[in-house]
Structure 1
């Protein structure tokens, strides 16, 4: 199977194509992602996911393709979660909180669509999520889930980075995980304002390093939130 190279892609479109969000364009430019997917996802959050039925199971594949599909699966989960959060705000949400959560939603959608475009025909199908354990009307429930997803996402990228063989893929994964870490810190600050929890001992070790968790452990942690069966037996482990 051909390994996706996130540094070059036939998906690049004309620079004259219009975009709906200057903020997204600036984010992508600063992350170095515009050279890959161009206007494929710069057009906004609209997508045709509803046109494609979710499969009952997906196989992530092997090599760099498998690792990128693994990241794509996690970004699907996060994008779906924040889309729901913004669509049905919890009781008592402030304007500042809604703005922050909307920004995070937009980032997660960008990550999701970027990985899908880069993977092309090797991309897994749309996952069916399961958020029945989250009470979207309650702040603590929503932010608690957000904390779990963001902390898990950072640990997932850290743990999978060493398994990538293409240097360009590793570089872009690093640029994505740094944004996920910003999300994690912001969510933790909402839960515990003016505290040191944004870099607490539960996520940063005594050497000042964040956790790195293997794909198998991450997939087990998020399994309650995904109805689609995810097979990862072909992923590299070293």
Structure 2
């Protein structure tokens, strides 16, 4: 795909015409200043970064796009482990990762269909991918740790994302609310596989203050900062996403 825009409807609009000089106010002094600024030096062309994606859209569409990127990350990890499980995986481990993979692939494809209902648009460049090179997925301990890291991210960010929707249409929020509960179950299941009998710990649940016992939440920007190295060399600009109040 040569066009790196995320969707045609999200392409940056032209800035519109601006009046740089008012003809009626032109004077000899203005002409002199312009002449003085003339130069025969050819300006150095500004190089365009081919890996800088168009900014994520503003509003609800941008939130859906963020959820789609997170689903790509989780589905990629779960797919890799399910396809090539570590040799020290138990039968239970294999069965769990098959379920995790199936859940997350469904999430990814459902979000993709919401963003492109007719399947006519390439949402990302053809070579855009979530890189697994920095993750250790060949041992049980490494695979569980990596999977839990991203399951915890999804569980922590969805409660922050849901209140940011502005549309009166409840379907998107209902869909993501259901996904949120699945992400929480993924995180709890993986934690229990790593340490049997556990459900959560103080790294994901607050233990002090008035919010003790509640989930430690994250913002989309915090999660994208974690995802950024895995999507490199592509750079995702998230400045348009709504911020939590």
TM-score by length of 2: 0.70
Q: Does 1:220 align with 2:218?
A: no
Gaps of 5+ in 1: 3-54
Q: Which residue in 2 is equivalent to 1:49?
A: none
Alpha-carbon separation, structure 1, partners of 2:93 and 2:155: 21
Q: Which residue in 2 is equivalent to 1:237?
A: 243
Secondary structure at the residue paired with 2:138? coil
Q: Which residue in 1 is equivalent to 2:188?
A: 185
Deviations 1:175-204 (A, max 9, x none): 00100000000000011012x3x2212212
Alpha-carbon separation, structure 2, partners of 1:80 and 1:231: 21
Alpha-carbon separation, structure 2, partners of 1:148 and 1:171: 25
Q: Does 1:72 align with 2:68?
A: yes
Q: Does 1:110 align with 2:96?
A: no
TM-score by length of 1: 0.72
Secondary structure at the residue paired with 2:236? strand
Instruction: Report the CA distance shift for 1:168/1:140 in structure 2 as closer, same or farther (over 3 A).
Output: same
Q: CA RMSD in A?
A: 2.1
Alpha-carbon separation, structure 2, partners of 1:63 and 1:223: 21
Secondary structure at the residue paired with 1:229? coil
Q: Does 1:168 align with 2:163?
A: no
Secondary structure at the residue paired with 2:164? coil
Q: Which residue in 1 is equivalent to 2:216?
A: 211
1:103 to partner: Cα distance = 0.3
Instruction: Report the CA distance shift for 1:124/1:212 in structure 2 as closer, same or farther (over 3 A).
Output: farther
Q: Which residue in 1 is equivalent to 2:94?
A: 98
Deviations 1:45-84 (A, max 9, x none): xxxxxxxxxx834332110000000000000111111111
In the comparison of the two structures, how many residue pairs are matched?
A: 185
- Between structure 1 and structure 2, the one with the greater Rg is 2
